[in-house]
A and B are shown apart, each in its own frame.
Chain A
């Protein structure tokens, strides 16, 4: 087996978590209705994470529930660990965290394996 095999699977696992998160609501306040104020009405970064909403995986219902989330996948190539973080970004600078709430959230997914010499990182920006 060559390392490219492992990396290919790592990318697939990372994409899967991104796919999972992107179909969720943008924010807890927009799960069932529109927020009263955008972006001021959105959840603050200190309240990111499913635990803050009383939700556990796989029952997350909004995008930032995946903040500080870790998942382990067992594959034909061994065990992969996926760590996710969510932050607010701006439309003009999606690479860096915004100072406050915006209408854009970036999910960063890092996939590691004991058999991979380098981790695989993917990012996805979800607009409101």
Chain B
């Protein structure tokens, strides 16, 4: 066989394999980016609801603003819809209630309750933790002493890719101004 023809076949083969590898790599990157973006959008969606509620903690209430506070749950008073009625709002991350609609075993139920009306936030939240501080930043668990709340949210992709779940996270420490209005 002509050595030139053999060389052409080898060169063409290497070229085709390179192109296929490049295409596979691009596909993987696109999939990973899509999952990263999905996680980030979920985190942002959760944070927007948290922002809506947590900045209004104590709005319209005169006393006993926070009635329950632990790492999974907070219950507070607020005129959350600015309609003149003070509501009881609870945020609870139920670590023992998985979300059945996703194959990810790490996501659990994040539940927002306003005066008994339940709203489950199904956004693949895999961690939602709360910490509480006094005005000077000392950790506290006494509801009467709480002046700051730190929330940390982590969302993962509903499905794994390449053996791992893409994830995105966000945290913010809130200092509700209503604690300081007399």
Tell me if A76 and B40 are in contact (CB < 8 A): no
Interface of B is mostly: mixed
| A contact residues, total (Cβ < 8 Å) | 19
**Distance of A29 from chain B, by nearest CB (Å):** 19
A12: B residues at CB distance < 8 A: 170-173
| B contact residues, total (Cβ < 8 Å) | 21
Within 8 A of A (CB), among B143-182: 152, 154, 168-175, 177, 179-180
**Distance of A74 from chain B, by nearest CB (Å):** 10
Tell me if B137 and A4 are in contact (CB < 8 A): no
Supposing A8-B44, A8-B47, A59-B136 touch, asked if A16 and B172 sit within 8 A by C-beta, the answer is yes
Alpha-carbon distance between A111 and B33 when the two chains are bound, in angstroms = 26
Alpha-carbon distance between A16 and B172 when the two chains are bound, in angstroms = 7
Tell me if A2 and B36 are in contact (CB < 8 A): yes
Other than the known A2-B37, A12-B172, A58-B136, what 9 A-B pairs have Cβ atoms closer than 8 Å?
A2-B168, A5-B170, A8-B44, A9-B170, A12-B171, A15-B172, A19-B174, A75-B171, A76-B152
Tell me if B177 and A19 are in contact (CB < 8 A): yes
Interface of A is mostly: helix
**Distance of B163 from chain A, by nearest CB (Å):** 17
Supposing A2-B36, A8-B44, A58-B137 touch, asked if A23 and B180 sit within 8 A by C-beta, the answer is yes
